[in-house]
Amino acid sequence: MVINPAHGGTDAGARGQDGTTEKDLVLQFARALRGELDRQGFRASLTRNDDSNPSYDDRAAGANAYHDAIFISLHISSTGTFGAVRTYYNQMPSSTANASAADSPALAVNDVFSAPSGWVVWSEAQRPYLSASRRLATLIQIQCAQGFQGSPSDPQQAPIRELRSVEGPAVAVELSSISGGGTAALLPKAAPLASAIARGVQAFHAEAAK
């Protein structure tokens, strides 16, 4: 399990009127989620545990280094109904197949990475996992809709750069909104959001084990 606190470093993400930054809040949310997943028996790690800003591919590489890892990226929006949660899975560009290094000899070494399945193009890594990512997003969104008023019942698909290079189920979870309240209003939502995501992950693993 790999948890990605979005942004970091010079990329603050969304900002609240009181000076609250998305990058700081999502790191605290990520730590809460890691603790909840650990309690549920999952082994979880963070793509960053400080105010650094790893590249998209470096974050994905942290997940791709594990076998059968799940990647969950955490965000806090600047708009939307305060307290609502939306879960996203990636929308890939149109393509006829998942390209490989052998199929694309002109690719530079930085365009591909070595995975258990062979050499994989970074920009295409998520494509074989879209169905699994959609199911994971659905199960997490079901839990969030039950616990966070104003949340939709279904996940949404969107072109999310940080998900496309992950070779495994990958979703982004976004809480609204930093403009609706600062740290004091948003931090109390960390524990219930962690519990909702963990229940969705549990349901996903239970289905996969059947």
The verdict on residue 139 lying in a domain is yes
20 is in which domain, residue-wise? Answer: 2-91+126-209
Tokens at 195, concatenated:
């519990």
- Closest among 64, 63, 78 to 15, alpha carbons compared: 78
Instruction: Give me the pLDDT at residue 111, please.
Output: 58
Q: Identify whether the C-beta of residue 46 lies closer than 8 Å to the C-beta of residue 34.
A: yes
- Higher local confidence (pLDDT), 178 or 112: 178
CATH assignment at residue 191: 3.40.630.40
Residue 199: pLDDT band (50, 70, 90) is: very high
Measured distance CA(124)–CA(167) in Å, rounded: 9
Residue 103 covered by a domain:
no
Going through the chain in order, the beta strands assigned E by DSSP cover 2-5, 45-46, 71-76, 85-90, 112-115, 118-121, 156-158, 170-175
Asked whether residue 109 is domain-assigned, the answer is no
Confidence of residue 139 (pLDDT cuts 50, 70, 90): very high
In a domain, 23, yes or no: yes
117 inside domain = no
Asked, for residue 104, whether it belongs to a domain, the answer is: no
Q: Is 107 among the domain residues?
A: no
Residues paired with residue 121 on neighbouring β-strands, in sequence order? 112
Whole-model pTM: value is 0.89
**Residue 112: inside a domain, yes or no?**
no
Q: Provide the number of structural domains found in the chain.
A: 1
Q: Give the tens place of pLDDT for each residue, 171-195.
A: 999 999 998 878 889 999 999 999 9
